[in-house]
Chain A
Amino acid sequence: MFDINIMATLLKVIESQEDKNAFCIAKKFYTYGQFAQCISKVRNELQTRAIESKNIGLIENDDLETYASIFALWLEGLAYVPISSDAPIDRNEDVIKQSNISVIIDSSESTKFSSYDLIESSKLTNLKLNLKTTIISEEDLVYILFTSGTTGRPKGVPISRSNLSAFVKSYEDLALNITNEDRCLQMFNLTFDLSVVSYLIPLLKGACVFTIPKNEIKYSYVYELLDEDDISVTMMVPSIIQYLRPYFDEMNFPKMKYSLFCGEALSLKLMEEWSECIPNASIINVYGPTEHTVFCTQYKYDSEKALNYNGSLSIGKQIGNSNLIIIDENGKLVPSGEKGELCLIGDQLMEGYWNNEKKSKEVFLNIEIDGVFHKAYRTGDLCFKDAQGFFFYSGRLDFQTKIQGFRVELSEIECHAKDYLDKINVVALAIENKLGNNEIGLVIESEETDTEDLFNYLKSKMPQYMIPTRLRFEPIFPLNINGKIDRKVLTALFLKNKENE
């Protein structure tokens, strides 16, 4: 139950330790008492408004108001749709329209969203405490996150109170000892669901959440927090550590208790080195798609016998009531050891994409297990299970890739580029750079030409992390034996040219 697992737990924390710190934002501490007041002032304002749609736009800022708004909305039975003011206007308008948003909460000094019914949260003054829960259906939503879609249009993943409550319960299976003395890192944009675990779990334990200011270079700031603020619990994407890797020999964080990773394949070698920097910590690899609420597996790294496949750590075993199934092309279960598409079943699974039955149909499947049919989500991830029941990730079935942990459909990039170039073919590829992180390479089927206008167009349509950072021209695309564009040859183009430089 959401009200018991989440709301009541948080209210108990607030009541019992109002002078303890809840947040550290841009070097400034805020207590649970201040957080409670901030939640109340947003809720007081919400209660004066006529709310037509239950989905409320939340402009993402690194401040107390933005985090407090989430809980004010949940107390009112409303859902937040995070909106990044740095994202292109076109994309934001699409998200606002798709999710039927009428009210937007914005804590910015000067808002870019004045044409909407606006709550300017930093200007609110009614601090009267207002934290009593009311009865709200478990099926009501807590948030909708929009992820990259193949057709150039982002699709909304709606997560319900029952989904999130199931996740919080599953998290207990990690058996971590997080207390109100812990200092926890929250390095994710709210548009990315790893933010949810990073702010929510610490608050439910009465710990302090350390955030990253917007204009900072993430890995630099993360390092500063680890070094100067004795952070004890982190959830990170592996690429952050990858950037710090050349400097591991000067890093030592003995206060670190738990170092969690999610969002990308986790390199065994990287963890062997990282574990030297955090001598007293457990390293835990977790896995899960946004559609199945944050994550649903865990693997505790053991340096003595680290399970890995091709150098990537196992994603471990399911947590909570999540059920992991691997199927072949015909939808039949495959025996252990054999690769297939990973499907997920359980209470963390979303109902379906927001207002998008067609996409939902594509990803859902009814799977029969012991005579009972279950609704399963096809992850698009190629996986296998070993004889001991440990799962291993071995790649994607489609052209989705991860850039700094963000899910990117390469076809969405191609779609926008083709729209602009008109009849000229393009291919977007994931290219591994020297540091071992993914970048997006764009190959245009033409002679070399000026691309400034093209890139300006792409920047008006997609967030920064989706903009290609490498560019090549190829007069005619090579084809493979199946007559499809040979993406391997095109990928090699980037690597080969690099060597010649």
Chain B
Amino acid sequence: MNKEIIIDKLRTIFINVLEHEDFEINDELSAGDVSGWDSLSHMLIIGEVEEMFSIKFKFKELNKMKNLGDMITLIGNKLNL
């Protein structure tokens, strides 16, 4: 799995949870940029990500995650890419 596939899957998850497509996926994307991505939907997104990639985050890792780039890197690390 390469970065493009990860991004593609993330896009699907975001659309499912947030119920809209008004965002563009890039490394700097963070919660403040996307309507509806708040502390509550964040946990739902994380749950979907864990399920989709069959990985498990540690809470400490999540606390350090500042933007989508961090999330993609973290997913990559978990998948040993």
A residues adjacent to B (C-beta < 8 A): 217-220, 223-224, 243-244, 246-247, 250-251, 404, 433-435, 437, 439, 469-471, 501
Contact = CB atoms under 8 A, between A and B. Distances in A.
A240 to B, nearest CB: 11
A79 B60 CA distance: 41
Nearest to A246: B47
Interface in B33-49: 36, 39-44, 47
Contacts, number: 40
B36 A469 contact: yes
B19 A435 contact: no
A471 B58 CA distance: 32
Contact of B39 (A218, A224, A251, A439): A218
B41 A224 contact: no
B31 to A, nearest CB: 9
B47 A250 contact: no
Given A434-B47, A471-B19, A439 B59 contact: no
19 contacts: A217-B39, A217-B42, A218-B39, A219-B43, A220-B39, A220-B62, A223-B63, A243-B43, A246-B47, A247-B57, A250-B60, A433-B44, A434-B47, A435-B43, A435-B47, A439-B40, A469-B36, A469-B40, A469-B41
B67 interface: no
B63 A220 contact: yes
A247 B63 contact: no
A219 B58 contact: no
B16 interface: yes
B59 A223 contact: yes
Contact of A250 (B16, B36, B58): B58
A218 to B, nearest CB: 7
A470 B19 contact: yes
Given A469-B41, A501-B16, 9 more contacts: A217-B39, A218-B39, A219-B39, A220-B62, A220-B63, A223-B63, A224-B63, A246-B47, A439-B40
Contacts of B60: 250
